């Protein structure tokens, strides 16, 4: 059984290239595959390998004070879903190109709602203040095609950078709602929530941990379909089981 992890962490990185080299060496030594992105604003990673190797990598990363609070989302597959290891240095760990959405420049993290609280709001039909609830999907149309929250506001975008323009026609209709932005693992909805709040939408929260965190803690309540992931598994159901497993492909 292969352990798959997804994690990101916003923290100032003075020398992204040096950190990328260290993480590459550590991941290669543990026979891990996947993608590691390093930027001046932090790290973003999707990795898979043997359980002990994954644990060792995460423990070593958290031993660095900058990443002590790293939150990891875990799932499993019967075989390795990544073809190789890729470690890259980028300007951003997810490209959005909006200064207002830079977590390290913001006074505080955008307010978040925990998965169990969101599930409770969905069950009661409103937030704890009685405001109507709108879930905003910040992912692209291909990802949305595999599944999303019931009645979520989805946007016809192919890239995350297109979100501000695509959201513009809906803003007036969202003024009386509590808007919860969500994405796969939390990184895009965190940036989107920061930008929206800086742009005057003070009624916006982010789903803490994204869809994968919601699946881990709640399951599929209020969600239709699967969650697209960026590897050969294609998408995960609410029990975090893959739509396609490399082992099935090998056996075919």
Domain boundaries, the chain: 2-89, 99-236
Tokens of 126: 């409103």
Q: Which of the residues 5, 183, 192, 229 is marked catalytic?
A: 183
227 assigned to active site: no
Residue 33 three-state SS: strand
What does the pLDDT read at residue 185? 96
CATH 3.30.870.10 fits domain 99-236: no
Low-confidence ranges of the chain (pLDDT < 50): 246-252
d(Cα 207, Cα 205) in Å, to the nearest integer? Answer: 7
What lies within 8 Å, CB to CB, of 184 at 6+ separation is: 6, 139, 143, 210, 211, 212, 227, 228, 229, 230
Q: According to the model, what pLDDT value does residue 249 have?
A: 41
> So what's the pLDDT on residue 21?
98
CATH topology of domain 2-89: Alpha-Beta Plaits (3.30.70)
Do the Cβ atoms of 86 and 35 come closer than 8 Å? yes
The predicted structure's pLDDT at residue 34? 98
**Burial annotation 67-86 (CB, 10 A radius, 16+ → b, else e):** beebebbebebebbbbeebe
């Amino acid at each position: 059984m292969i352990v798959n992890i997804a994690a990101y962490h916003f923290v100032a990185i003075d020398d992204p290239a040096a950190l990328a080299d260290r993480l590459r060496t550590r991941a290669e030594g543990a026979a891990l595959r996947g993608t590691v992105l390093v930027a001046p604003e932090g790290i973003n990673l999707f990795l898979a390998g043997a359980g002990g190797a994954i644990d060792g990598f995460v423990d070593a990363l958290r031993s660095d004070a900058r990443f002590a609070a790293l939150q990891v989302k875990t799932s499993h597959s019967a075989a390795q879903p990544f073809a190789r290891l890729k470690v890259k240095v980028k300007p951003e760990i997810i490209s959005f190109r909006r200064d207002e959405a830079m977590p390290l420049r913001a006074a505080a993290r955008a307010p978040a709602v925990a998965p169990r609280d969101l599930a409770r709001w969905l069950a009661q039909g409103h937030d704890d203040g009685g405001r109507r609830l709108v879930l905003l999907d910040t992912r692209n149309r291909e990802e949305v095609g595999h599944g999303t929250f019931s009645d979520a506001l989805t946007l016809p975008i192919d890239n995350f950078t297109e979100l501000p323009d695509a959201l513009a026609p809906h803003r007036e209709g969202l003024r009386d709602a509590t808007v919860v932005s969500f994405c796969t693992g939390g990184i895009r909805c965190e940036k989107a929530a920061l930008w929206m709040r800086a742009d005057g939408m003070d009624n916006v929260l982010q789903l803490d941990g994204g869809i994968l965190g919601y699946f881990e803690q709640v399951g599929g309540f209020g969600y239709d379909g699967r969650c697209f992931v960026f590897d050969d598994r294609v998408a995960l159901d609410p029990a975090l089981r893959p739509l396609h497993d490399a082992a099935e492909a090998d056996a075919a």
